Amino acid sequence: MTRPSRRRAIATAAIAVTLLLTGCTGGGDDPPPAATPSATAAPTTGAPARTGEQVSNPFGAHWDWSRFQQFGPYLRRLAGSATYEEISWCEIERTPGKADWAGLDEIATRSRDLGITLHLKIRTGVCWATGGTARYTRGAANKTESAMPTDLGAYQRFVGEVVHRYGPYGVREYAIENEVNAPSYWAGSPEDYARLVRAAAETIRATDPKARVVDSGISSVAYGMGVADRLLRAGRVPEAVAAYQAYFQRRVGTRGQQIPAVTGAAQLRRALGTETNSRNLRFLAVTESLLTDRTVDVRQVHFYEHFSGVTPLLDYLRATTPPGTPIQAWEVGQFWRDGDGDPASRATEMVKTVTLLAAGGIGEISWLPLAYNPNNAAGSEVRYGLLDPDGTEREAGRMLAALADAARDATVTPLPASVAGRLNGVAFVRGGQSTLVLWSASNTPVTVPAAPGARAGAVGSPLGVAGGGTTITDVPVLLRADQPVDRVLAAVR
């Protein structure tokens, strides 16, 4: 859609939404007025939390709201970050014209009180609004896939109600559906999905001009297929195979023949050509077309792989995302089917993953899950949590909270090119102080000479005076100094 035609569509939608909302939202069903975070919800350290469109801390998490009482104390340490909640038209409006907002109102209120910005994923589900019968159900809530609405006008009315109601809570980003590349989440075609997004986008912008439209968040596995496919199509076969191997090193065999071992071009082509992976690539392509024509404002990334897969993912995102488009990672985690590894190594890997994403320009990074559910269908902790199920902080949780403290209201700065190949990490600059998260890019220790006011230590632990310099190994270290980043690292050896 061209810009002029989009403006006409938005103007038309604005009139329609205004009429709809005037008639359907009133009385005790109105949302309460927006409020500032309560004093008890303020972070224990760092700058005051902010609510609204822009987060002041890139490091957040996604959690199970039924366990909010256990998680609340830790979540206050992540103030200034963002999270999301997935909603379904079919669940909120089980009977046409009778919406139940109570549960979502409570979530929006608590998020606001925590000083955490809430984003919403708007799904349809399968019910009277779509027709048909669900083929997939999952979880205790029996969530189903989504299908195309039978009446797009009714769908736009629902989307308009969501935006009208939750804008006052500070909600400004709305993702349309979730991981549509998976049949268990989306029953329609890529073309159906594009039509749905365009309808939703017109309504969202008409209802709240400050709001931003977000894509569904293509799955972590599908992104890996996209990474390899792009390199293979460009004739960069060795790079394509290497990227596939790095990205999927923990996934091979976990989904039968969908993620097979690959050592050469022929095997890679066969892997990419399966029915499932062909679908993955088609939905990835339609997502990118919606970004290119500016129907979608924000690119949403999901990543659950080994941290060595971050670099090829970032290369892919730079090559396929329109300049100036914000990229956010609403789902980041650690898929490990066998659950091997001691807590320290898993926490260390978490730090490497999220700092590489931050250094690569990813603006919001939400770890999922905050705490794993011990009663999950897999029967084991396939995706690693920052907390124990009862809310007790793990080492990984302490580390992420330390990163949040370092990054809050700071400028995220990549490491200078002068240390490339020797150091990995990221820097956070606030005022005249630089806080760096560093680890060796190889097995060789690297020494950062002493700097004015330098203090260093393990991420998540108290920092000590670094008067004699700091030795950096493959375990991340947090280094704070009263100098610009390039000066701190100028004499690295």
Domain with residue 484: its CATH number is 2.60.40
Residue 243 falls within a domain, yes or no? no
Cα–Cα dist 221/278, whole Å: 12
The predicted-structure confidence for 349-361, as pLDDT tens digits, reads as follows: 999 999 999 999 9
Mapping DSSP onto H, E and C, the string for the chain reads CCHHHHHHHHHHHHHHHHHHHHHHCCHHHCCCCCCCCCHHHCCCCCCCCCCCCCCCCCEEECCCHHHHHHHHHHHHHHCCCEEEEEEEHHHHCCECCECCCHHHHHHHHHHHHHCCEEEEEEECCCCCCCCCCCCCEECCCCEECECCCCCHHHHHHHHHHHHHHHHHHCCCEEEECCCCCCCCCECCCHHHHHHHHHHHHHHHHHHCCCCEEECCCECHHHHHHHHHHHHHHCCCHHHHHHHHHHHCCCCCCCCHHHCCCCCCHHHHHHHHCCHHHHHHHHHHHHHHHHHHCCCCCEEEEEECCCHHHHHHHHHHHHHHCCCCCCEEEEEECCECCCCCCCHHHHHHHHHHHHHHHHHCCCCCEEECCCECCCCCCCCCCCECCCECCCCCECHHHHHHHHHHHHHCCCEEEECCHHHCCCEEEEEEEECCEEEEEEEECCCCCEEECCCCCCEEEECCCCCEECCCCEEECCCCEEEEECCCHHHHCCCCC
Same domain for 158 and 39, yes or no, is yes
pLDDT at 226: 98
- The answer on 297 and 324 residing in a single domain is yes
Q: Is residue 94 within 8 Å of residue 58, measured between CB atoms?
A: no
Q: Are residues 403 and 429 in the same domain?
A: no
> pLDDT tens, 448-493?
999 999 999 999 999 999 888 999 999 999 999 999 999 999 989 8
| Whether residue 316 is found in the same domain as residue 464 | no
Residue 257 confidence (pLDDT) = 73
136 domain-assigned: yes
Residues 430 and 451 in one domain: yes
Dmax over CA atoms of the chain, in Å, equals 70
The pLDDT, as a whole number, for residue 34 is: 39
In a domain, 196, yes or no: yes
Is 90 exceeded by the pLDDT of residue 50? no
How many of the other CB atoms lie within 10 Å of CB of 486?
Answer: 14
Q: What's residue 253's pLDDT?
A: 83
| pLDDT tier for residue 421 given thresholds of 50, 70 and 90 | very high
458 and 357 within one domain = no
User: Is the separation of the CB atoms in 101 and 165 below 8 Å?
Assistant: yes
Nearest-CA neighbor of 217 among 56, 362, 52, 348?
A: 362
Whole-number pLDDT of residue 379: 65
The residue-averaged pLDDT of 83-93 equals 98
Residue 306 lies in a domain: yes
Whether residues 431 and 403 share a domain: the answer is: no
Q: How many CB atoms lie within 10 A of CB 94?
A: 15
Q: Domain of 55: which CATH number? A: 3.20.20.80
Domain that holds residue 468: 413-488
Residue 256 domain-assigned? no
Q: Give the span between the Cα atoms of 185 and 188, in whole angstroms.
A: 9
CA 192/CA 386 separation, integer angstroms? 37
Last residue within a domain, chosen from 409, 440, 459: 409
Q: Are residues 330 and 449 in the same domain?
A: no
Nearest of 418, 484, 11 to residue 3 by alpha carbon: 11
pLDDT at 346: 93
Kindly state whether residues 133 and 41 are assigned to the same domain: yes
Answer whether residue 14 shows pLDDT above 70: no
> Residue 258 — very low, low, confident or very high, per pLDDT cuts 50/70/90?
confident
Is 157 within a domain? yes
Residue 486, token pair as written in the block: 């390039």
Q: How many CB atoms lie within 10 A of CB 409?
A: 15
146 in the same domain as 75: yes
> 206 and 350 share a domain?
yes
Residue 262: inside a domain, yes or no? no
Residue 203 domain-assigned (yes or no): yes
Q: Looking at residue 437, what is its pLDDT?
A: 98
Of 32-36, 125-129, 274-278, 382-386, which gets the smallest average pLDDT?
A: 32-36
Please tell me which residue, 140 or 204, carries the higher pLDDT value.
204
Mean pLDDT (the chain, rounded): 89
Q: What percent of the chain has pLDDT over 90?
A: 80
Which of 409, 425, 451 terminates a domain? The answer is 409
Domain count, the chain: 2
pLDDT, tens digit, for every residue of 247-257? Answer: 999 999 887 67
Residue 168 shares a structural domain with residue 303 = yes
Which residue, 409, 444, 471, sits at the end of a domain?
409
Task: Verify cis geometry, omega within 30 degrees of 0, for the bond prior to 369.
Answer: yes
pLDDT of residue 193: 98
Query: What are 134-190's pLDDT values in tens digits?
Result: 998 877 677 899 999 999 999 999 999 999 999 999 999 999 999 999 999 999 999
Alpha carbon distance 237, 228 (integer Å): 9
Q: How confident is the model at residue 124 (pLDDT cuts 50, 70, 90)?
A: very high
Cβ atoms of 190 and 304 closer than 8 Å = no
pLDDT above 60 for 17: no
